[in-house]
Structures are given as structure tokens and as C-alpha cells.
Amino acid sequence: MKLIILDRDGVINHDSDQFIKSPDEWLPVAGSLQAIGRLSQAGWRVVVASNQSGIARRLFTMNTLGMIHARMHDACADAGGRIDAIFFCPHGPDDGCACRKPRPGMLHDIASRFDVPLGSVPLVGDSLRDLQAGAACGCAPWLVLTGKGRATLQAAGGVAGLPPGTRIGDDLSSVVDQLLGEGA
């Protein structure tokens, strides 16, 4: 099975320091939905792994998060794509849970649900915590320069400051171009 794990905010949709709190605030990054469509049509299973501490912060409810994700599912379908599952951590940064990235709990749950080892599964994110969670599970980390990606790369002092083996793409579409071009 070809599996890819995507962070949501900053990879699929535009990020906001004030959080994405409603379906109307969910706006796709240019080309991201079409990239998911190309993955789906090439036989990949697309899974989203996202920290959603806005729930713990009481900025939005689980019902609202469901509506945001319904909008994302519909938009992907309109672009010929499919998101096979969405995993999210509803906890705050100080809750000490095992599922909040950079901890790998959410990724272990994905491996269990899909019954696949995560070794070399591409994980695409825009923050260091995404890459760290992926590296802890043996995923192949990809940093996109959308969302917080450029700031992440700068704060790391370049690619050498990122988890070993991290590759960089301008955006999700660029990563998909490389993955599909390599026959991965």
C-alpha cells in the first residue's frame, strides 16, 4: 500500500496564528487539492495528522472541527482526490498527551489502523514538530515551504538542522511531483 501522511494547516490549507475556527476560514493552499487528487488517482492512501489544540483552548468545538473537515473532504473530492482518514490531537501543548506532535502517538495510531509499518512512508509538514514526529516513526520527512515552512527552515539554520533525511518542497504539489516522478 502506498501511504502518505499530511499535516493539515500550512500544507493543505492556509495556516493562521489565530487558528482555523470555522469552515469559512479553511482556505486551500494553491495546488494542494489537485496534488491530493493526483495522489489518489495514482493509488495512494492519503491520511491527515493534525494537532488541533483549538479544541482544548475552547476556540471551536468538535462539531465545528467536523464541519471544517467536511469542507476539506468535499473540496478534495471536487479536485478528484480523497482523504482516507483524518487523525487529530485535540489536546493543548501542556496536556502531556502522547498524540500531540512532536510525539509520535498519532502516527502510531495511523500505522495500527492501516496495518502498515511507517518506515519510509512520506510525512509532509510545515513545522519542526511534524518532521520530528515522522522521524521518530521512521517516516520519510518532507518540509514544505508553505505555512510555517520557510520560518521552520530558517529557525533550523537550513536543512542540516532538520531531522536527518528531510527533503524540501516548495509546496504539496512540488512534493507530489517528486514522489510520483520517482515512482515511489
Active site residues: 7, 9
Give burial (CB, 10 Å; 0-12/13-18/19+) of 48: buried
Nearest partner of 17 among 72, 71, 59, judged by Cα:
59
What is the rounded distance in angstroms from the CA atom of residue 25 to the CA atom of residue 158? 31
By the 8 A CB rule, do 83 and 110 touch? no
CA distances from 21 to 14, 52, 120, 141 (A): 12, 10, 33, 27
